[in-house]
Amino acid sequence: MNTTAAQFPYPWQRCKIVHLVRHGQAMHNVEGDINREALLSPHLFDAELSPLGLHQVGKLRKNVHASGLLKRIELVITSPLYRTMQTAFGVFGSTESNEDEGVNCPQIMAVELCRDRMGVRPCDMRRRVSQCQALFPSIDFSMMDGEEDSMWNPDFRESEEEMAARMGLLMNWLWTRPEKEIVIVSHGIMLQHILDRLGNDCHPSVRTALCKRFDNCELRSVVIVDKSSMEADSQLR
């Protein structure tokens, strides 16, 4: 058996390590599991983390610190919804606790492209940017599309094809970033679309394992490779 048949070398400058994190359990997860119609309720607008979700975030933060992962991460990209920002800041943000002494926490940037499936459900509508800035002053909101949420439509739910296209735009943008090790804090269905896109060239068994459903506050790490021919010659010289 040829064990090297599926092994290929790639220049490190054409690779990135991406850590995908689904937000902790949020109140719309709790109420939606009981009654799916609850997801249409205005009181779940931009749903916050549940008590269990906050506990999950604290547990992941400890694991990220203990493993040394926090020291390697150069950038955290988060959906601008409240539950994802709570997760991103709660796991990777700087606090006044002793555990942060001597640790340079990475920049956290809110990016509209990685938000949840848009439309119809109030839980997937975001707050005004000024409100988000007041809640999370250390998060960078310079990539936001505007003060109000103009992307959410009360009458139309984003299609699977539209979500897949949006994740394609996100990953294309990711390759323009200089950072080599990046975290994306997003939503289960959006992370599935990212992995579906990345897993096209994988063996079916690898793809199945890679693309399984995310648990709340699960962190899954992948190495991604830019296999385009653009600038390949100049980078290898």
Return the pLDDT at 22: 97
Mean pLDDT lowest among 10-14, 90-94, 98-102, 194-198: 98-102
CATH code at 90? 3.40.50.1240
Return the pLDDT at 9: 67
Is 124 within 8 Å of 89 (Cβ atoms)? no
How many angstroms separate the Cα of 89 from the Cα of each of 30, 62, 97, 107, 170? 22, 13, 14, 10, 20
Per the domain annotation, does 146 fall within a domain?
A: yes
Instruction: Kindly report the three-state secondary structure assignment for every residue of the chain.
Output: CCCCCCCCCCCHHHEEEEEEEECCCEHHHHHHHHCHHHHHCHHHCCCCECHHHHHHHHHHHHHHHHHCHHHHCCEEEECCCHHHHHHHHHHHCCCCCHHHCCCCCCEEEECHHHCCCCCCCHHHCCCCHHHHHHHCCCCECCCCCCCCCCCCCCCCCCCHHHHHHHHHHHHHHHCCCCCCEEEEEECHHHHHHHHHHHHHHCCHHHHHHHCCCCCCCCEEEEEEECCCCCCHHHHHC
- How are beta strands 181-186 and 15-22 bridged, if at all? parallel
Structure tokens given for 186: 């997003």
For the chain, give the mean pLDDT.
87
Per the domain annotation, does 141 fall within a domain?
A: yes
Per the domain annotation, does 3 fall within a domain?
A: no
Q: Per-residue confidence at 97, pLDDT binned at 50, 70, 90?
A: low
Return the pLDDT at 100: 57
Per the domain annotation, does 236 fall within a domain?
A: no
Task: Tell me the pLDDT tens digit for each residue of 199-220.
Answer: 667 666 667 777 788 999 999 9
Q: Per-residue confidence at 8, pLDDT binned at 50, 70, 90?
A: low
Return the pLDDT at 213: 86
Q: Per-residue confidence at 235, pLDDT binned at 50, 70, 90?
A: very low
Per the domain annotation, does 59 fall within a domain?
A: yes
Structure tokens given for 220: 């899954």
> Closest by alpha carbon to 12, among 221, 226, 230, 171?
226
Per the domain annotation, does 1 fall within a domain?
A: no
Is 184 within 8 Å of 20 (Cβ atoms)? yes
Per the domain annotation, does 234 fall within a domain?
A: no
Return the pLDDT at 190: 93
Residue keyed to tokens 């600038």: 231
Is 113 within 8 Å of 170 (Cβ atoms)? yes
Instruction: Please calculate the CA angle 195-28-79 and round it to the nearest 5 degrees.
Output: 45
Return the pLDDT at 5: 53
Average pLDDT over residues 72-97: 93
Task: Tell me the pLDDT tens digit for each residue of 131-184.
Answer: 999 999 999 999 999 999 999 999 999 999 999 999 999 999 999 999 999 999
The tally of domains found in the chain comes to 1
How many angstroms separate the Cα of 206 from the Cα of each of 160, 191, 199, 203? 23, 16, 8, 5
Domain with 151 in it: 14-227
Task: Tell me the pLDDT tens digit for each residue of 100-141.
Answer: 555 678 999 999 999 999 999 999 999 999 999 999 999 999
Return the pLDDT at 17: 94
In this predicted structure, the answer to whether residue 94 has a pLDDT above a threshold of 70 is: yes
In this predicted structure, the answer to whether residue 87 has a pLDDT above a threshold of 60 is: yes
* 10 CB neighbour count, 10 Å cutoff: 11
Give the largest Cα separation in the chain, rounded. Answer: 60
Return the pLDDT at 224: 85
Per the domain annotation, does 9 fall within a domain?
A: no
